[in-house]
Amino acid sequence: MDPTLVRGNLDLVLLSILEGGERYGLDISKEANTRTDGYFQLNAGSLYPALHRLEKHGWIQSQERQPPRGGPSVRYYTLTDAGRAELHRKRSAYDTFHAALRALWS
């Protein structure tokens, strides 16, 4: 995994995961790892500051509550309407970038 590439696309990764519904931090990290066959291994030092930034932008919202399995409260994150719009914008921008980069490989 190239940390520079991940850092530049972390918002897209997180918004994409939250598109599927609410999740808490550790669950987000596990989902990223599972869906990418281990490519994305998000640690707390990059995950939580990014989630706080996304929330500050209004793209996600959070609510602290007790998980169904019991135990201490955890913070659940959900995508907002503004976050859904930003996800579509970021995907479009990424698709354009990817197509331009692929054109250079020919």
Q: 3-18 and 25-35 helices cross at what angle (nearest 10)?
A: 110
Full-model pTM: 0.86
Return the pLDDT at 83: 97
Confidence bin at 27 (pLDDT 50/70/90): very high
Please report how many Cα atoms fall inside a 13 Å half-sphere around the Cα of residue 89, on the Cβ side: 8
CATH topology of domain 3-105: Arc Repressor Mutant, subunit A (1.10.10)
How confident is the model over 36-77, as pLDDT tens digits?
Answer: 888 888 888 889 999 999 999 999 999 999 877 788 899 999
Angle, alpha carbons 50-55-58 (nearest 5°): 135
Annotated domain spans of the chain: 3-105
